[in-house]
C-alpha cells in the first residue's frame, strides 16, 4: 500500500510539473508578463454605428474606405444575425459610413476578410463569408456607382477556416485558413501551444491549391500586385512571411520571414508600399475580451517599411490600453489618415497621423 501511495504521488507530481510547465510556457509565449507602454503621436475620432469592423481596405485611387463588419458576440448565439459592408469617403471630413450590402437583407451574410481589386472598368470586392450553417465561401462584388452588384459565390473544399484573402485577378486570390481542427480539445491545443497546422490556399479561378502549409494560424494576407509580392501574418507563430508569387500559376517562393513579438492580424498596403498591421500584444487579453465585453484588450498598430533589396524597419505607430478602442485587427493608411478596425467594438476609429 505504501509503495502504491508513493507511486501515485510521484505520478501526480510529474503531472503537476508538466501542467505547470505548459501554463508558464503559454503565459510567456502569449506575452502575459510583457510591460506595455501606450503611445500615439496623433489623435483619433471614434465613429459609432459599425459593430465589429474586423477587416477593412482602402481604394487608394479614390480614398474610399470599405469595412467588413459583424457583431460576432451576438452572431455566435443567433443564426439570424447578419453582417454588413460599409463604405466611406476619407476625403470628406464630415463623411460617415454608409451601408452598401447586408444588414437585415440579404440573409446569411457573415463577412470576414475583405480584399479590393482595381479593374479597368471599376472596382471588384472579394469578401469571405461564413454562413450560419458552418460553411465557407468567397463572395465577389462589383462596385456600381453607389451600390454593390453581387457577381458570384465561390466555394472550395480547401476553404476550411478562412480568415483573410488577397485578390490578384478577376477570379483569382490567396486565402488563409487560420485553424486546422474543428472546435474541441484539438483546436484549443492548436491555439494554445501553438501548432503549425494551417495553410494558405491559392484559388486559380477554377479550384483551390495548397500554396503554403505548416503555418501557425494563417491570418492576414495582402498582395502587392505591381511587384508580385505576397505578405502573410502567422498570428500565433508571431511571424510575417514574405513571398514572391508567380502571376501565371500562383506558385510561391519565400523571400523572407520576420519574427515580431506580437500577435499580428490583418495587413494593408499603403500608396508607398508600407505594410500596416493591426496586432494584439497580449494574447490572453484578446481571448478574455472575446468572451467578456467588460474586459478590454490593448490595441496595437505596426508599420513595416521594407527595402527592395532586403531588410527594412518596423515601427510601433500606436499602442493603446485605455479601452477606448480594443483589439484592433485591421489598420490602413491614406494620406494623413489612419483607420482602425476592432474585432468587437461598436465603433471604429479615424486617426490623424502626425
- pTM for the full model? 0.93
Helix residue ranges, H only, 39-92: 72-75
Residue 312 preceded by cis peptide, ω within 30:
no
In terms of Cβ atoms closer than 10 Å to its own Cβ (0-12, 13-18, 19+), residue 94 is exposed
Instruction: Determine how many CB atoms are found less than 10 A away from the CB of residue 67.
Output: 26
> What is the per-residue pLDDT for 328?
98
Digitized pLDDT (tens) for each residue of the chain, 354 residues in all: 555 556 666 677 677 766 666 677 777 778 888 999 999 999 999 999 999 999 999 999 999 999 999 999 999 889 889 999 999 999 999 999 999 998 766 789 999 999 999 999 899 999 999 999 999 999 999 998 778 999 999 999 999 999 999 999 999 999 999 998 888 888 877 877 777 899 999 999 999 999 999 999 999 999 999 999 999 999 999 999 999 999 999 999 999 999 999 999 999 999 999 999 999 999 999 999 999 999 999 999 999 998 877 778 999 999 999 999 999 999 999 999 999 999 999 999 999 998
Instruction: Determine how many CB atoms are found less than 10 A away from the CB of residue 326.
Output: 22
Question: 98 vs 48, 153, 223, 329, 337, CA distance in Å?
Answer: 12, 23, 26, 21, 18
> What is the per-residue pLDDT for 5?
54
Instruction: Determine how many CB atoms are found less than 10 A away from the CB of residue 4.
Output: 8
> What is the per-residue pLDDT for 225?
96
Q: Where are the domains of the chain?
A: 1-30, 41-352
* Residue 295 CB partners (closer than 8 Å, separation 6+): 285, 288, 289
Instruction: Note whether 287 and 307 are within 8 A (CB).
Output: no
Sheet of 299-306, strand order? 263-269, 275-280, 299-306, 312-320
b/e map 134-160, b = 16+ CB within 10 Å: eebbbbbbbbeeeebeeeeebebebbb
> What is the per-residue pLDDT for 10?
67
Long-range contacts, 152-159 (Cβ 8 Å, 24+): 153/129, 154/203, 156/201, 156/203, 156/207, 156/208, 157/208, 158/199, 158/201, 158/208, 158/209, 158/210, 159/201, 159/208
Three-state DSSP state, 264? strand
For residues 34 and 313, give the distance between their C-alpha atoms in angstroms, rounded to a whole number: 22
> What is the per-residue pLDDT for 271?
96
Q: What is the CATH number of domain 41-352?
A: 2.120.10.30
In terms of Cβ atoms closer than 10 Å to its own Cβ (0-12, 13-18, 19+), residue 11 is exposed
Closest to 347 measured CA to CA, from 79, 10, 46: 46
Task: List the beta bridge partners of residue 253.
Answer: 244
b/e map 169-191, b = 16+ CB within 10 Å: eebbbbbbbbbbbeeeeebeebb
Would you give the DSSP letter of residue 59?
E
For residues 180 and 161, give the distance between their C-alpha atoms in angstroms, rounded to a whole number: 7
Phi–psi pair at 106, nearest 5 degrees:
-75, 160
* Residue 254 CB partners (closer than 8 Å, separation 6+): 212, 241, 242, 243
Instruction: Note whether 82 and 69 are within 8 A (CB).
Output: no
For residues 163 and 338, give the distance between their C-alpha atoms in angstroms, rounded to a whole number: 22
Amino acid at each position: 500500500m505504501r509503495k502504491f501511495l508513493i507511486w501515485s504521488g510521484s505520478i501526480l507530481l510529474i503531472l503537476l510539473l508538466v501542467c505547470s510547465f505548459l501554463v508558464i510556457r503559454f503565459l510567456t509565449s502569449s506575452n502575459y508578463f510583457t510591460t506595455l507602454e501606450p503611445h500615439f503621436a496623433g489623435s483619433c475620432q471614434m465613429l459609432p454605428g459599425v459593430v465589429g469592423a474586423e477587416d477593412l481596405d482602402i481604394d487608394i485611387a479614390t480614398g474610399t474606405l470599405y469595412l467588413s463588419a459583424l457583431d460576432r458576440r451576438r452572431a455566435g448565439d443567433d443564426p439570424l444575425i447578419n453582417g454588413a459592408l460599409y463604405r466611406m469617403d476619407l476625403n470628406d471630413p464630415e463623411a460617415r459610413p454608409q451601408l452598401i450590402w447586408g444588414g437585415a437583407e440579404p440573409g446569411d451574410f457573415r463577412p470576414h476578410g475583405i480584399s479590393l481589386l482595381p479593374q479597368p472598368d471599376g472596382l471588384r470586392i472579394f469578401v469571405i463569408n461564413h454562413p450560419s450553417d458552418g460553411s465557407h465561401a468567397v463572395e465577389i462584388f462589383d462596385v456600381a456607382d453607389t451600390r454593390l452588384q453581387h457577381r458570384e459565390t465561390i466555394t472550395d473544399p480547401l476553404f476550411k477556416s478562412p480568415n483573410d484573402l488577397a485578390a490578384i485577378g478577376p477570379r483569382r486570390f490567396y486565402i488563409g485558413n487560420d485553424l486546422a481542427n474543428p472546435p474541441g480539445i484539438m483546436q484549443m491545443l492548436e491555439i494554445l501551444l501553438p501548432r503549425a497546422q494551417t495553410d494558405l490556399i491559392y484559388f486559380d479561378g477554377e479550384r483551390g491549391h495548397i500554396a503554403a502549409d505548416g503555418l501557425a494560424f494563417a491570418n492576414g494576407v495582402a498582395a502587392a500586385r505591381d511587384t508580385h509580392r505576397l505578405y502573410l501574418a502567422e498570428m500565433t507563430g508571431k511571424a510575417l512571411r514574405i513571398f514572391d508569387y508567380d502571376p501565371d500559376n500562383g506558385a510561391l517562393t519565400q523571400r523572407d520571414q520576420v519574427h515580431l513579438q506580437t500577435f499580428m492580424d490583418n495587413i494593408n498596403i499603403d500608396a508607398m508600399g508600407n505594410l500596416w498591421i493591426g496586432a494584439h500584444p497580449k494574447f490572453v487579453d484578446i481571448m478574455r475580451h472575446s468572451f467578456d465585453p467588460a474586459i478590454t484588450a490593448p490595441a496595437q498598430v505596426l508599420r513595416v517599411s521594407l527595402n527592395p533589396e532586403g531588410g527594412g524597419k518596423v515601427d510601433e505607430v500606436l499602442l493603446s490600453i485605455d479601452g477606448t478602442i480594443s483589439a484592433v485587427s485591421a489598420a490602413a493608411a491614406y494620406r494623413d489618415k489612419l483607420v482602425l478596425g476592432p474585432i468587437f467594438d461598436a465603433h471604429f476609429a479615424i486617426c490623424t497621423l502626425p
